[in-house]
Amino acid sequence: MDSASLVAHASLHPQQNLHTLFVYGSLMADEVLRILLKRTPQSSDALLNGYQRLSIKRRVYPAIIPVDSKKVSGKILSGIKDFEMDILDAFEAVEYKRITVEDGLEKLLAYAYVWGNEKDPNLYGDWDFENNFICC
């Protein structure tokens, strides 16, 4: 289902659950969120303990994988509706799995998109939003 279909579907189903999402890459950019969701959700700084953010060969976006001694800085997006989660799931594609994590700053439970293959040979080096993000 494309974004327009998902938005139309949501208008027919006004009762929506609200979700919290930890983001650490391209979804930290307001421009990307406005393109995908047609709005910028409320956000706050966040820290995810026990994960590492890595670059992916031939990609402009990062991945996170579990690594005990590491931390990933990002944002918590709040008030994400069911249909918006569907849009974000489609955006993140099959290489990521959506799991529940705990933010290290506010101790909030949130969803996060984690790279599905922790041993992927295409993962390398740290990825940093300020130095690696290329937008729209």
In this predicted model, what pLDDT tens digit does every residue of 6-49 receive, in sequence order? 444 444 445 569 999 999 999 999 999 999 999 999 999 999 99
Active-site residue identified among 31, 84, 92, 95? 92
Residue 91, CA atoms < 13 Å, CB-side half-sphere: 19
Pair of tokens at residue 34: 């406005």
92 catalytic? Reply is: yes
> Reduced to 3 states, what is the DSSP secondary structure of residue 14?
coil
pTM: 0.84
24 burial via Cβ count (<10 Å: 0-12, 13-18, 19+): buried
Helix (H) or strand (E) holding 9: helix 3-12
What digits encode the pLDDT tens for the residues 60-76? 899 999 999 999 999 99
